[in-house]
Amino acid sequence: MAEVRRALEQGVTTKPAGRIPSIAGLPFANLMLSMALLAGLGSHPAEAQSTWPFWDQYAKHFLSPQARVIDPDRNDMTTSEGQSYALFFSLVANDRSSFQNILAWTDNNLARGDVSKNLPAWSWGRNSDGSWGVLDPNSASDSDLWIAYSLTEAGTLWGEPNYIRKGKELLSLIAQTEVANVPHAGPVMIPGKTGFHRGSDEWVLNPSYLPLPLLFAANHYAPQGPWKQMALNLPRWLAQAHPVGFAMDWVKCDAKGCSPAVWPENSSGPARGSYDAIRVYLWAGMTAKETPGAAKVLEMFSPMLRFVKAHSVSPESVTADGTILSASGPASFSAALIPFAVSSGEQGVAGRLQQNVEAEISKTTGLLGNPPAYYEQNLALFGLGWQEHRFWFAPDGTLRVQWKK
């Protein structure tokens, strides 16, 4: 949900084997050391440095003392997306203090006191009268799923049963309010509580809201829910909705089938894949190869990899028929595609993507870009964190982290 608004506002036409062992000897290793030294600058809610310098730099730049993730490019707005990703990254970093503070802020400001009882509002910020509070109470289901995932995994890794209970209750709430029986897709998580059901039988879906590992992990903790069937159905309707193998930001499913769609609030121009869709490749690349459907999804979206192999960069925007609207995506897109290249066996492509990212890391902040943008860092944290073996997903979707022996 948050990224949709971002795209509109910016005018966007919208233990794993086979990693890159040679990359350990590239300048990026020195860059990580520099970032570790930089981690002593500034302050954020964590009482001590975590195990992940990039996360420390991100938290110093984007996480307020109250533990809300601030997007400075959107009037200091906070989204459930930002809070959900920050929960996951703080868990990966073994940063328990930040995790607790981020969760508390999310509970109290987005979820009327408890995310296990109330789905978080997707946006919070400055109202027209100058006050601060919820801007849009609608939910963003991908953020909700990431919060539930981080809670259950934190409960397991840190031995906190209350987190597991809270995560399982949120999964139940998502299943009750954000899952629908969609034509040609079966039970599927729709993007939010309201606004995505057109007429009697047409639904608008966002493929990037449905990471396979998170769906299988949800089934691990809530086997009576719709999660396993949702995960098993995903490759089939994704293939139907992406006829030439480039992921789309939005898809519609109706009685005729599933097909690329334009975002209802910005219907000018063709359906396209851009700032939302880049996460489809990211999730596919990070999925364990033994996970049901993983190989099929990798193969389905291989045209993106062929483009990157030929041009060394990702397109920023592409239409459903493969027409490139904007050829050079930002460095964060390269970071997001590193896992996809590695999991596809294209180590050389992964190395070139890595170089794209290194070239854009600021020596001053240790972050991507100058000035660093909120969404770009999140893509980089996922892609680089996975590539550095800081985390990975088991075949059942549950989380493995570097710090947990």
User: Could you list the active site residues?
Assistant: 81, 142
Q: In terms of Cα–Cα distance, which of 273, 254, 255 is closest to 263? A: 273
Q: In terms of Cα–Cα distance, which of 71, 86, 49 is closest to 2? A: 71
State how far the Cα of 244 lies from the Cα of 58, in Å rounded to an integer.
36
Those residues with Cβ within 8 angstroms of residue 117's Cβ, 6 or more apart along the chain or in another chain: 111, 169, 173
Q: Contact, 121 vs 136, CB < 8 A?
A: yes
**Which residues share a beta bridge with 260?**
251
Pairing of the two strands 317-319 and 123-126: unpaired
State how far the Cα of 378 lies from the Cα of 257, in Å rounded to an integer.
33
State how far the Cα of 154 lies from the Cα of 142, in Å rounded to an integer.
18
Q: Contact, 387 vs 354, CB < 8 A?
A: yes
DSSP 8-state code for residue 181: E
Sign (positive/negative) of CA torsion 146, 148, 154, 156? negative
Query: Any long-range contacts for 208-211 (C-beta under 8 Å, 24+ apart)?
Result: 208/142, 208/247, 208/249, 208/276, 208/277, 208/278, 208/279, 208/280, 208/283, 209/141, 209/142, 209/145, 210/142, 210/234, 210/283, 211/145, 211/279, 211/283, 211/286, 211/287
Angle at 302 between CA 297 and CA 305, to 5 degrees: 130
- The CB density around residue 362, as the number of other CB atoms within 10 Å, is 15
User: Six-digit token pair at 29?
Assistant: 């290793």
Q: Contact, 79 vs 144, CB < 8 A?
A: no
Give me the residue label for tokens 């050829």. Answer: 327
